[in-house]
Structure 1
Amino acid sequence: MASAAHRYDGRPGTTTPAQEADRRAELEVRGGFGVVGDRYAGKPAHRDAAVTVLDVESLEALAAELGVPPFDPLLARRNVVLRGADVEALRGREFALDCGAGEVRLLGGRAANPCRWMDVVLAPGAHRGMRGRGGVRCRPLSDGVLRLGPAVLRIAPVE
């Protein structure tokens, strides 16, 4: 996902803003910059948080807890959604994703906390339910391309 504009701006409304145009099959990542075409790219305040990563299992668990159908991961507004990865373990760690076009190195940073819009776009209770499992904000360390589909996650050893 990459969005040139905020879709969940201001106080939550009662309807979900259109966002299908933000769905991408490929993201171009630039080290120290972010996702090309994304609203946070190149912004000094977001340098350490320019790429957001979430594990889809968090969304699946939340939907089950709230008793609603599975959520479209696009609605969570994270750039990268992974399956089978402990995203919380990436905080403070250097890691790389390789979708077949070479590695993109990232540094996991602070939590990607959910906003109140989650109660509107996902389900009532989703804002509170996503706390502590909304993903991680990352600093991009290298240039590269991330593609939709299988990827290899490599986590740098702790020194």
Structure 2
Amino acid sequence: MRVEIVGLFASAVHAFEGRPGDGPRPDPEDPRRECLEVRAGLGVVGDRYFHHPAHRQASVTLLAVESLERIAAELGVSAFDPALARRTVVLRGADVDALTHTDFTLDGLRFRGHRAAHPCRWMDVVLAPGAFRAMRGHGGVRCEPLSDGVLRLGPTTLRVRDAA
């Protein structure tokens, strides 16, 4: 299926630490990327979760931009900056939440979707009040990269394979 990668994000720091009421830590650099280098079993080079054993099956997170658009409309607010959701890859044109427990390729790279990427209370702070609840079931999927390569912004192909 033809899809579009509309956002690629990597950050060396975890901005959502502590209490949401205290606000996020500022990123030392903008997390937006034109491309991401992905390594099998390790994640995204330069990202805070790269090569962390606890995140091997969750080192890349995918989110559908349509989910953010629907949530913004439900809450009656303007469109969200996808970078604020802190997901690695934001796609247009795919049912990302259906990729749990599924092997797939995106832009020629192989991935295994493991579990839903559940939102946290930070979404009420950085997106809008009510976003945390509205994102439940629509927060994307946590994935493990199975091959090395580079993801780039723009049109590409998503191919879903057999269930993992």
TM-score range, shorter chain: over 0.9
Q: Do residues 9 (structure 1) and 17 (structure 2) align?
A: yes
Does the Cα contact within 8 Å between 1:14 and 1:120 map onto a contact in 2?
no
Code of the aligned partner of 2:19: R
Hey, what's the Cα distance between the residues in 2 that align with 1:144 and 1:84? 22
If the length of structure 2 is used for normalisation, what is the TM-score?
Answer: 0.90
Equivalence map 1:37-48=2 (5 Å): 37-48=46-57
Hey, what's the Cα distance between the residues in 1 that align with 2:25 and 2:18? 12
Hey, what's the Cα distance between the residues in 2 that align with 1:138 and 1:158? 13
Deviation at 1:131, TM superposition (A): 0.8
Hey, what's the Cα distance between the residues in 2 that align with 1:134 and 1:32? 22
Deviation at 1:14, TM superposition (A): 5.2
Structure 1, unaligned stretches of length 5 or more? none
Q: Do residues 51 (structure 1) and 55 (structure 2) align?
A: no
Aligned-residue RMSD, C-alpha:
1.5
- 2:124 maps to what in 1? 119
Hey, what's the Cα distance between the residues in 2 that align with 1:93 and 1:158? 4
Greater Cα shift, 141-150 or 20-29: 20-29
Hey, what's the Cα distance between the residues in 1 that align with 2:141 and 2:63? 7
Aligned residues between the structures: 155
- 1:154 maps to what in 2? 159
If the length of structure 1 is used for normalisation, what is the TM-score?
Answer: 0.92
Post-superposition Cα deviations, 1:9-63, rounded to whole Å, max 9, x if no partner, equal 1110354544461111110000000000111110111101110000001000000
Deviation at 1:157, TM superposition (A): 3.8
- 2:72 maps to what in 1? 63
Structure with the higher strand share, 1 or 2: 2
Hey, what's the Cα distance between the residues in 2 that align with 1:125 and 1:114? 11
Change (3 A) 1:110 1:131: same
Hey, what's the Cα distance between the residues in 1 that align with 2:68 and 2:25? 19
Hey, what's the Cα distance between the residues in 2 that align with 1:52 and 1:72? 16
Deviation at 1:88, TM superposition (A): 1.5
Structure 2, unaligned stretches of length 5 or more? 1-8
Equivalence map 1:60-139=2 (5 Å): 60-98=69-107, 103-139=108-144
Hey, what's the Cα distance between the residues in 2 that align with 1:132 and 1:21? 27
Q: Do residues 145 (structure 1) and 154 (structure 2) align?
A: no
Greater Cα shift, 64-73 or 16-25: 16-25
Does the Cα contact within 8 Å between 2:101 and 2:163 map onto a contact in 1?
no
Post-superposition Cα deviations, 1:95-133, rounded to whole Å, max 9, x if no partner, equal 0111xxxx1110001110111110011000001111111
| Percent identical residues | 66
